[in-house]
């Protein structure tokens, strides 16, 4: 989608940067996604006004974080994407509190806090993505989850059109799910982390990295686990038991390392990936009577 010259001029006045015709395949870890205009939000305080501008001009939009959990439609996209600058995200520590911009890299945040003797997030070290994405989905791995550490979140709430601060106790963090509205935009978070010597944190991080390297296709283009685990079961184990590792639709393939990761082994299209996802879901439904729910987020046109 292309924004008009009039909207482009207003965005410039508001301090936002417009990048035209951006291929989202370059912004997603799967390497899949069509083309659209991207608006880089350089000043948080202008977000409410930019959102009003987009609403007034009937411009559909989506908010792009780290792009690590997304399956995006092919071709020309019918929406623009909004993006927070992530080159020099704010991070600081005061006592046991860490104040971090949502655009910060999650792994970088774990390391930053570790160097200041704050632990508790060791398992999150290899989870790809931004802090904002981790908050929205309550990212978790190897016994760590971000939710329990959240004390405050500053966010843009589409429901009120304002920037607000929520207390951690007012947010529900469940397994890969939170009470944030789909159109809430994470801006900053205050985390409270337990004190732990750097050396101990690093030892924990090493264990998690080794487990991850041994079981997940970390060097291939993927979007992390495709499906949530059903209560008391493992999506990866079921898909593996069905002999589906290596199963392909075009260049979209069920990883031969971990069956709940689907990888782009060449030039997979969104259509290929969705066909693979739906086909595997169907096979699991038939064999196990379980309907797998997507963990990845699909942006259809």
Residues in touch with ligand EPU (CB under 6 A) = 141-142, 215, 224-225, 228-229, 234-237, 240, 258-260, 295
Kindly state the helix (H) or strand (E) to which residue 209 belongs, with its residue range: helix 198-215
CB-neighbour burial class of residue 209 (10 A; exposed 0-12, middle 13-18, buried 19+): middle
- Closest to ligand EPU by CB, 223 vs 268, is 223
CA angle 67, 83, 122 (to 5 degrees): 50
Shortest gap between Cβ of 115 and ligand EPU (angstroms)? Answer: 23
- Closest to ligand EPU by CB, 118 vs 141, is 141
- Closest to ligand EPU by CB, 35 vs 109, is 109
Shortest gap between Cβ of 124 and ligand EPU (angstroms)? Answer: 9
Contact yes or no for 134/67 (Cβ under 8 A): no
CB-neighbour burial class of residue 289 (10 A; exposed 0-12, middle 13-18, buried 19+): exposed
- Closest to ligand EPU by CB, 154 vs 295, is 295
Shortest gap between Cβ of 257 and ligand EPU (angstroms)? Answer: 7
Cα dist from 183 to 7, 61, 82, 136, whole Å? 21, 10, 12, 10
By DSSP bridging, strand 185-192 and strand 97-101 are antiparallel
Radius of gyration, alpha carbons of the chain: 20
Shortest gap between Cβ of 233 and ligand EPU (angstroms)? Answer: 9
Phi and psi at 269, nearest 5°, equal -95, 170
- Closest to ligand EPU by CB, 115 vs 213, is 213
Shortest gap between Cβ of 109 and ligand EPU (angstroms)? Answer: 17
């Amino acid at each position: 989608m292309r924004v008009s010259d009039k909207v482009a001029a207003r965005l410039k006045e508001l301090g936002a940067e417009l990048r035209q015709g951006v291929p989202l395949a370059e912004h997603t870890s799967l390497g899949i996604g069509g083309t659209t205009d991207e608006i880089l939000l350089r000043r948080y305080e202008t977000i409410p006004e930019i959102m009003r501008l987009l609403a007034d001009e009937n411009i559909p939009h989506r908010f792009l974080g780290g792009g690590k959990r997304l399956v995006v439609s092919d071709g020309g996209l019918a929406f623009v994407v909004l993006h927070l600058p992530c080159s020099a995200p704010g991070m600081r520590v005061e006592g046991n509190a860490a104040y971090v911009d949502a655009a910060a890299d999650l792994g970088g945040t774990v390391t930053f806090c570790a160097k200041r003797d704050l632990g508790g997030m060791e398992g999150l070290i290899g989870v790809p993505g931004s802090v904002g994405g981790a908050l929205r989905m309550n990212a978790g791995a190897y016994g760590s989850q971000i939710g329990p550490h959240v004390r405050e979140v500053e966010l843009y709430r589409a429901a009120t059109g304002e920037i607000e601060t929520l207390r951690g106790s007012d947010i529900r963090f469940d397994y890969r799910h939170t009470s944030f509205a789909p159109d809430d935009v994470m801006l900053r978070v205050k985390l409270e982390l337990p004190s732990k010597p750097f050396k101990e944190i690093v030892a924990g991080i090493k264990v998690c990295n080794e487990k991850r390297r041994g079981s997940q296709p970390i060097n291939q283009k993927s979007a992390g686990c495709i499906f949530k685990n059903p209560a008391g079961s493992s999506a990866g184990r079921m898909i593996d038991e069905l002999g589906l590792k290596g199963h392909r639709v075009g260049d979209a393939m069920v990883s031969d390392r971990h069956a709940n990761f689907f990888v782009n082994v060449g030039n997979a299209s969104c259509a290929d990936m969705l066909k693979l996802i739906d086909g595997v879901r169907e096979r699991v439904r038939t064999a196990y009577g379980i309907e797998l729910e997507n963990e990845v987020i699909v942006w259809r046109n």
